[in-house]
Amino acid sequence: MALLNDFKTARKVVRTMLRSRRNRRRVAGLMDEHPLPAPGSVSIAVYFADTKVNLYQIRQWYAPLAELSKRFPVSIIARSPSSVLALWEEAPVPTVYLRRVSELEQFVSEQPLKIVFYVNQNAKNFQMFRYGRMWHVFINHGESDKMYMTTNQFKAYDFSFVAGDAALDRLSYKLWDFDLKRKAIPIGRPQADHFAGELPYTPDDRTVVLYAPTWEGDRDAAAYGSIESHGVALAKAVLASDTHRLIYRPHPRSGVVNEDYKRANIDIIAAIAEANESDPSVQHVYDDGKEMGWQLVAADVAITDVSAMVYDRLATGKPLIVTRPVSEHAEIDEGGYLGSCEWLRADQAGDILAIAQRVQFDAEAKERLGYWAERHFGDTTPGSATARFHAAVESLVALWHRHAQIHIGDRHVSEVDPFEDDEDESPSAE
């Protein structure tokens, strides 16, 4: 068994390496179509060092970045060939491919960067942190009560944009000696101002149920995924109903760690296809598209795991149910919304239709939802979060100019690390 596992691992490494090299050849062939921006033309950059599998983390920022680019020149910095190929096709702002540290150094020396945004905690972020004459700002890829939201890595950034009062309380409780008032800037959820998209079905009298689970996680403390424990029974109940429509949007990493979790995901997708084939008028949806937003607005009731999807839905103020993790080791912060949310236990999954009916129309449930939406996001009036996002950016740009004047006479020296390995041929660099 050990020998078989070693063989599978080696085969996976070889496949990844070959795919990486193919992607690099494709990138090389397209470089002329995507020239670097002119020197002195980029004020704000979004740094994305991850591979294509985590593109969902930056995709949700596409619309806010496009809006911000009307005020400031914005570019995305990609470090992975698989990512840049996708970003060249779909991102609404220019993307530059800087695989080598030396290329990153050259870009920084040519561009008057004032702010660099980060959507995740990739280890390669530290290659960008080296450069001191700009603000490094963590904007994250969602708002949630997962342990990821209070990691001590927040301290590595000059500033962090957070959603609202709940995030500030969370950070004040978890992070020791963190200058919360200066470093954490509430902006709400600007993505919610852009929730839109064309529906893949024709609306009718059916109650639309969105089930948007997360992946299984790579450790016990983050085992929030519900596809295996709740999902199959839940989906079967909705698919069997004559009055409901299911939108199933699983996390793109579902099943990467656990084969049983992967199999449950495949079973739900197959069940949706079978239901649609039996009666095309029901129009159930398996959604693996790049566009995010219409699902949250269209659903009459949403069911999510403990993830950022909870808070994306919360920002709409519409009925929401959260699956209770079956793992006793999963960390759940019930000091905030999760302490008052509508939980769905695994043994209740088959009764989801009755539970959804109650949550949708119960006055007390609606009142709780409204309270927590404001606590997490502040003013949720359309356009308000975008205004706060732009105000925060403008404030940091003004602060940059003040410091630029203070340091106008400083001698500029190279910030490159002579011990940094500039050649990254590892499969993980794909």
**Tell me, what's the pLDDT at 196?**
76
Which two tokens mark 422? 């500039």
Give percent of the chain with pLDDT exceeding 70.
Answer: 91
Tell me the pLDDT tens digit for each residue of 296-353.
999 999 999 998 889 889 988 899 999 999 999 998 888 778 999 999 999 999 999 9
Question: Residue 76: in which H helix or E strand, if any?
Answer: strand 74-78
Where is pLDDT greater, at 197 or 13? Answer: 197
Whether the predicted pLDDT of 425 surpasses 50: no
Q: How confident is the model at residue 23 (pLDDT cuts 50, 70, 90)?
A: confident
Tell me the pLDDT tens digit for each residue of 32-52.
899 999 999 999 999 999 999
Tell me the pLDDT tens digit for each residue of 361-373.
999 999 999 999 9
Which two tokens mark 128? 């960008």
Whether the predicted pLDDT of 24 surpasses 60: yes
**Tell me, what's the pLDDT at 430?**
59
Whether the predicted pLDDT of 71 surpasses 90: yes
Whether the predicted pLDDT of 288 surpasses 60: yes
Per DSSP, the three-state class of 28 is helix
Whether the predicted pLDDT of 145 surpasses 90: no
Cα separation, 142 vs 161, whole angstroms: 11
Cα separation, 344 vs 325, whole angstroms: 9
Mark 180-197 as b/e (b = at least 16 C-beta within 10 Å).
Answer: eeebbbbbbbbbbbbbee
- 387 contact partners, CB below 8 Å, separation of at least 6: none
Whether the predicted pLDDT of 423 surpasses 80: no
Which two tokens mark 268? 């739900």
Closest CA to 160 of 404, 419, 392, 315: 392
Q: How confident is the model at residue 9 (pLDDT cuts 50, 70, 90)?
A: low
Per the CB < 8 A criterion, the answer to whether 7 and 78 are in contact is no
Cα separation, 310 vs 6, whole angstroms: 38
Give Rg (Cα) of the chain.
23
User: What is the average pLDDT across 62-84?
Assistant: 96
Average pLDDT, the chain: 91
Give percent of the chain with pLDDT exceeding 90.
Answer: 74
Cα separation, 383 vs 197, whole angstroms: 17
What secondary structure does DSSP assign to 30-48, as a single string? HGGGSPPPPTT--SEEEEE
User: What is the average pLDDT across 158-162?
Assistant: 97
Cα separation, 303 vs 237, whole angstroms: 13
Whether the predicted pLDDT of 427 surpasses 80: no
**Tell me, what's the pLDDT at 45?**
98
Tell me the pLDDT tens digit for each residue of 174-185.
999 999 999 999
**Tell me, what's the pLDDT at 143?**
81
**Tell me, what's the pLDDT at 163?**
92
Our CA angle for 202, 253, 21, nearest 5°, is 115
**Tell me, what's the pLDDT at 426?**
47
Whether the predicted pLDDT of 203 surpasses 70: yes
**Tell me, what's the pLDDT at 4?**
56
24 alpha carbon, distance to own chain's centre: 25
**Tell me, what's the pLDDT at 418?**
54
